[in-house]
């Protein structure tokens, strides 16, 4: 069942702009196929509205989000572009959290790859929180960490237990990100760190179809300012931030998909003494609207190009040479020469 929700950042309930429409439900019968993306005209945050009830998402993440019998390598670091994303995230996180004995909780840990990558950098006190049963089963078979099979709101975890928590590509999945951040705040000891990673709405590169980004599992879409607003409203201080720019250098006519998305990376800190939530900073919602529309127009071109190339590559006589040419053109990898700069609050 779906329902209209207010803006979770500023509380606005009516003043929204309908930004875009997306489709798809991954064949899950209790999830609707049509999704409207709203933009709050008061504070500038972007989110699905209406949204499904929390119970529908909980059911989806427990049983439908991960493939059954998925084979996962015991190695954490992945080759190629996805592995380079991991490297940059690790570089950023470990620049601030230098204590290798820190008690770390990875929220939405999936198959445990990020925890394994942390172990390869010398961290030992690792824990995972993951609602999907199949993912926890695979992770426990591969790694020796402690995994909690529960969602954030359902986990019976002691307060002030962890020195750091990580939230890699997860905050965009919460129906109430501020409430979720407050739950994480309670889990951290005073002075503990929270690392949040999510796609950057202002500079996202679609190119594989708008429904790859705007979809029912992504309930919120953040800019740097709106993500910092959510963290501040939950009581956190900003300790460091880094935005990975979108990298289009290796995309071309034959390989429009060979790019990297822009990502927000923010490390927040639970203050040593609890205080009042900080005031949020409003941003120009029209600026966000125009940027997303510009990206969407480019995405339509690349989507058409991708379909034409797919037909061409599967022609009987030219398919193999086309595949070889595409492989050569895609040999360069985005992200390999990006370095994490010194962080700024």
Residue 150: which CATH number? 3.40.50.150
Structural domain harbouring 94:
80-286
48 and 98 belong to one structural domain: no
Under DSSP, the state recorded for 160 is T
Arithmetic mean of pLDDT, 35-60: 93
- Helices 113-120 and 80-96, packing angle to 10 deg: 60
164 and 32 belong to one structural domain: no
Residue 9: which CATH number? 2.20.25
At 157-202, the pLDDT tens digits run 889 999 999 999 999 999 999 999 999 999 999 999 999 999 999 9
137 and 32 belong to one structural domain: no
Beta strands of 144-246 (E only): which ranges?
146-148, 162-168, 188-199, 220-221, 237-244
At 1-13, the pLDDT tens digits run 789 999 999 999 9
86 and 198 belong to one structural domain: yes
If one counts every other C-beta atom within 10 angstroms of the C-beta of residue 131, the result is 24
Distance CA 234, CA 37 (A): 24
Domain final residue pick, 235, 268, 286:
286
88 and 142 belong to one structural domain: yes
DSSP 215-238: STT--EEB-HHHHHHHHHHTTPEE
Total domain count, the chain = 2
157 and 255 belong to one structural domain: yes
Q: What is the pLDDT of residue 73?
A: 57
Rounded to the nearest integer, the mean pLDDT of the chain is: 86
Per the domain annotation, does 60 fall within a domain?
Answer: no
pLDDT over 90, % of the chain: 52
Beta strands of 59-187 (E only): which ranges?
104-107, 126-129, 146-148, 162-168
Cα angle for residues 5, 9, 15 (degrees, 5° grid): 55
Per the domain annotation, does 126 fall within a domain?
Answer: yes
Of 51 and 206, the structure prediction assigns the larger pLDDT to: 51
Position 48 confidence tier, pLDDT thresholds 50, 70, 90: very high
**Cis bond upstream, residue 50 (ω within 30):** yes
Q: What is the pLDDT of residue 305?
A: 67
Q: Above 90 in pLDDT, residue 293?
A: no
Closest to 90 (Cα-Cα) out of 173, 164, 15, 174: 164
Position 61 confidence tier, pLDDT thresholds 50, 70, 90: confident
Per the domain annotation, does 335 fall within a domain?
Answer: no
- DSSP SS3 for 183: helix
8 A C-beta contact, residue 14 and residue 43: no
89 and 36 belong to one structural domain: no
Residue 185 region by backbone torsions, left for phi larger than 0, else alpha for psi between -120 and 50, else beta: alpha
Enumerate helices (H) and strands (E) in the chain, giving the number of each. Answer: 8, 13
Distance CA 259, CA 247 (A): 6
- DSSP SS3 for 159: coil
Distance CA 73, CA 71 (A): 7
153 and 236 belong to one structural domain: yes
47 and 161 belong to one structural domain: no
At 108-139, the pLDDT tens digits run 999 898 999 999 999 999 999 999 888 888 88
């Amino acid at each position: 069942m779906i329902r209209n929700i207010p803006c979770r950042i500023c509380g606005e309930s009516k003043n929204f702009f309908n930004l875009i429409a997306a489709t798809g439900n991954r064949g899950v019968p209790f999830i609707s196929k049509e999704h409207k993306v709203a933009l709050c005209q008061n504070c500038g945050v972007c989110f699905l509205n209406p949204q499904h009830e929390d119970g529908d998402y909980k059911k989806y993440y427990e049983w439908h989000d991960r493939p059954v019998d998925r084979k996962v390598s015991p190695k954490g670091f992945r080759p190629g572009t996805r592995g380079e994303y991991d490297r940059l995230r690790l570089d950023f996180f470990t620049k601030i959290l230098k204590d290798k004995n820190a008690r770390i909780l990875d929220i939405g840990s999936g198959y445990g790859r990020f925890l394994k990558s942390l172990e390869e950098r010398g961290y030992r006190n690792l824990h995972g929180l993951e609602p999907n049963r199949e993912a926890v089963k695979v992770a426990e078979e591969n790694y020796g960490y402690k995994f909690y099979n529960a969602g954030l709101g359902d986990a019976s975890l002691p307060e002030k237990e962890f020195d750091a928590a990580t939230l890699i590509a997860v905050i965009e999945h919460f129906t109430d990100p501020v409430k979720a951040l407050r739950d994480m705040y309670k889990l951290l000891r005073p002075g503990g760190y929270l690392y949040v990673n999510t796609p950057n709405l202002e500079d996202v590169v679609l190119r594989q179809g708008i429904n790859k980004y705007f979809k029912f599992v992504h309930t919120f879409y953040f800019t740097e300012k709106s993500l910092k607003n959510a963290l501040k409203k939950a009581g956190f201080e900003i300790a460091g931030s880094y935005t990975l720019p979108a990298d289009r250098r290796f995309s071309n006519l034959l390989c429009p998909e060979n790019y990297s998305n822009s990502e927000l990376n923010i490390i927040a800190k639970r203050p040593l003494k609890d205080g009042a939530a900080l005031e949020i900073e409003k941003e120009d919602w029209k600026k966000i609207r125009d940027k997303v529309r510009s990206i969407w127009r480019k995405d339509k071109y690349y989507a058409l190009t991708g379909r034409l190339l797919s037909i061409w590559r599967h022609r009987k006589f030219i398919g193999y040479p086309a595949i070889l040419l595409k492989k050569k053109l895609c040999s360069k990898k985005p992200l390999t020469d990006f370095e994490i700069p010194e962080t700024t609050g």
